[in-house]
Structure 1
Amino acid sequence: MAKSKDARIRVLLECTSCVRGGVNKESTGISRYITEKNRHNTPGRLELQKFCPYCYKHTIHGEIKK
């Protein structure tokens, strides 16, 4: 079957301060969230303020590729 062209897609959000801090991307020390976005309303990359348990504060989590 062909892939559907639904408006809502699932995206991964990753803590930007953990990545900039030099932590390896495959390590467990990076906060990641799964959420959905509407492809038609937000065609660009999604950035949300979320809590990072590794930084112990609210940081910006940006969308990454799967």
Structure 2
Amino acid sequence: MKIIENRERSIQKKFRVNEKENERIKLMMRKTGITNFSIFARRACCNKEIFSIDFSEYKNPNC
């Protein structure tokens, strides 16, 4: 891979998906009109709010 000096985004992220997930990503990219996966992934990851719900009290029925 070619190293580009003064690149604004210097950290590369990689992840793997299965066929179904890949088709879903392609569908969402078509729907949004974004053809560049890097832009799509950055917007999907950085422009959304992530919620975390703690269900630990429901896992232990003896309480």
Q: TM-score range by the shorter chain?
A: under 0.3
TM-score scaled to structure 1, two decimals? Answer: 0.24
Of structures 1 and 2, the one with the larger relative CO (CA 8 A, separation 6+) is 1
Q: Which has the larger radius of gyration?
A: 2
Task: Choose between structure 1 and 2: higher helix proportion.
Answer: 2
TM-score scaled to structure 2, two decimals? Answer: 0.24
